[in-house]
Structure 1
């Protein structure tokens, strides 16, 4: 299926400006009017969720306090646990350090000699080991030229690597690289890129469906669903594309530089058993652009094809529908099932998102969802417990989703939160979000002063 004209025009504009083409066509305590619920989650531990009273309690606008500028396309930020220091990954291949004295000119890590940069390729993700203060281990996700094992005609190789930082945490040792995972990528788009540690201490990795459109074409395998040809989102045996992976980077197993957590859905299967590749945690994704944990809940924003954008609460073993569904709607078919056949993993349900919005209309609309963070800070109490996110096309605007824990499920109420007039120019295009140990949320974007790192503050 082709993209609608609005999306094509936006993507063409993004390409000419050098912006990343994410669209993939190509803590505070609860306030008195908030409820608190506690539940057990599959992604690790117990989740405590503060639910705002309603949309009328949210601010109409927020401000953006600029911490650093000078980036080209900033895509990820990580916060040092032992110092007032932020690490910012730039798509072009470098990671920079921002501290009390500002942005250090010398990069923390320079991978420009190894990274393939395109509209959706480059240096895409960054995570600090939970014990970074002691072990100085850093994990980086980037796109590289085709490596050994990448089939002829494929675009590039997905690389997840580990580096060791110096004792002072200001520089990564370039020669310390240890490749953890490589995945052949058929096309140059739908590369996802998030890497993050969960509350269980395991590393979660977002992987797109391999690119092109509709999860079809070169590198897209056959699946159980005949109404739409392809693809990788519904397959868990042939490759790791279209999924969220979970691996144990503190151990090695079976000749691999990581181990499989014992409770992964296909733990104990090497793929030959027919169940699934053991790295899989959840599947059915097109282009999971940015993931975030909040008190045990795993939020995954998945970029849509031509009509809907979505955010899901992801659980172990969950199937999130692509390419049978786009959001909660049938994709490229008048009718579609809401679960797999009984012979496919026992007839698992196709899970609907908690947030969905269209590519046209009023209010919350866009062309490429930018996954966000749940606000837990103290600067804007009215936002506590809401999921802040954005869209690549929503210039000068953020979105806020209000969690709903109704037993019947359904979509969460979502509304626009404008960036205040004086700061709107900083967020012409939002690429990513971050959250520090105090629960304050950060926006990585490009605007009047180029690429920047900004903290969300009262308007």
Structure 2
């Protein structure tokens, strides 16, 4: 479930529960071995506590932040459809973009993703992903239409030009939750789009020929074809094969925040009943939903039998690099809804360099850090206490600026805010 409503159910299981393997599938260990030297490489250097420097407070539900190159300017997107400009002197009075009644809210709908084009300084293009009322072509029994759209900013970058919206893609959504919505440009210059499986415990993820639900798409938004407002990269994994050409990877339940670190592509995927996960995604990878929840078999004692009946039966599932339970764990890493983050590459907290920093919707005064092991197993993960936890009662998203410093967006005692992760001293 995405981070707007409480879970509809919570099923706790014993920490020592076993996993059922899949035919033809070699599973990695579901937890790092605390006795192995490899399992603790780098994790002991993670600081115990971090601070939060508040840059903006008094917001509603801030869900994304983007940093404009060559200027001290941040664009902050809120769920209600507004994007604000934050500069050295604070927030500008007029919004950068206000989608108004074009956005459907309620449940987990709203303005769910925003990113700037890599050449934003030159072309002033930005992209948003928002929930809209049902549009033509959306089935009558579906809840709404997800819209991926491009806009053009003014030359000074402080507003969006009227009449410049260009719809790139419309995604019919069956429910008002599990909609995904995040956007990120990869190092290849293509736009990556996270789409949720569409609600319900058994929702999409495995049928790559029917729709885009439960996927990450990859689009060339610098080109277009006669029948599309975008082009398909020639090396997308299903080009010339059975399936929709837009797919990059599939088998996700609700990808909530995408990020790149060089060629590494991180996708956090919100779990259903018991486990949360972070994946290091590869082209053409199947990440298991709705057969697997993390490394665990989802609601069935024989995952092999279920997997054989999926539209792409027998396809190998890929394990996450991080998995944590809903119940309390010895490591302290637990929660109810994962919020994906970024690899830290800044200078303020050198002990965090190279760690993947992320969190949970209900942080309970913590964020998480995972470090890369020497092998291909799970990434050891630990907690970092937040010095002033009242600032952050809910985590909604993360951001990273051009020099590698990390930011967290969420709600606390002063409403919604944007905070820079800093030293606790």
Task: Establish whether TM, by shorter chain, passes 0.5.
Answer: yes
CA distance in 2, matches of 1:170, 1:245: 29
**Equivalent residue for 1:358?**
325
CA distance in 2 between counterparts of 1:21 and 1:405 reads 38
> 1:214: how far off?
2.6
Look up the SS of the partner of 2:359 in the other structure: strand
Whether 1:377 and 2:346 are equivalent positions in the alignment is yes
Give the structure 2 partner of residue 35 of structure 1.
Answer: none
- Residues 188/240 of structure 1: CA separation in 2 closer, same or farther (3 Å cut): same
Larger mean CA deviation between 394-403 and 233-242 belongs to 394-403
Cα deviation, residue 118, structure 1: 1.4
- Out of 124, 128, 143, the residue aligned to residue 116 of structure 2 is 128
Aligned partner of residue 233 in structure 1, secondary structure: coil
Q: Which of 300, 303, 306 is residue 336 of structure 1 equivalent to?
A: 303
**1:22 to partner: Cα distance:** 7.8
Match of 2:55 among 61, 64, 67: 67
CA-to-aligned-CA distance 1:260-302 (integer Å, 9 cap, x gap)? 0000012246xxxxx0000000000000000100111000000
Q: CA deviation at 1:193?
A: 1.1
Residues 163-242 of structure 1 aligned to structure 2 (within 5 Å): 163-215=151-203, 232-242=204-214
Aligned-pair distance for 1:129?
0.6
The number of residue pairs the alignment matches comes to 394
- 1:413 lines up with 2:380 in the alignment: yes
**353, 363, 376: which one pairs with 1:394?**
363
Unmatched tracts of structure 1, length 5 or more: 1-6, 12-18, 27-50, 216-231, 270-274
| CA shift for structure 1 position 404 | 1.6
Native 8 Å contact 1:304 1:368 kept in 2: yes
Query: What is residue 217 of structure 2 aligned with on the other side?
Result: 245
CA distance, structure 2, for counterparts of residue 127 and residue 24 of structure 1: 31
Deviates more, 1:202-211 or 1:386-395: 386-395
2:206, 2:311 within 8 Å by CA — same for their partners in 1? no
Q: For 1:332, what is the secondary structure of its paired residue?
A: coil
Aligned counterparts of 2:390 and 2:163: Cα–Cα separation in 1: 39
1: distance between equivalents of 2:80 and 2:113?
Answer: 12
What root-mean-square deviation, in Å, do the aligned CA atoms of Structure 1 and Structure 2 show? 2.1
Equivalent of 1:143 in 127, 131, 134: 131
Q: TM-score scaled to structure 2, two decimals?
A: 0.89
Gaps of 5+ in 2: 11-38
Q: Does 1:21 align with 2:5?
A: yes
Distance between the aligned counterparts of 2:234 and 2:391, measured in 1?
45
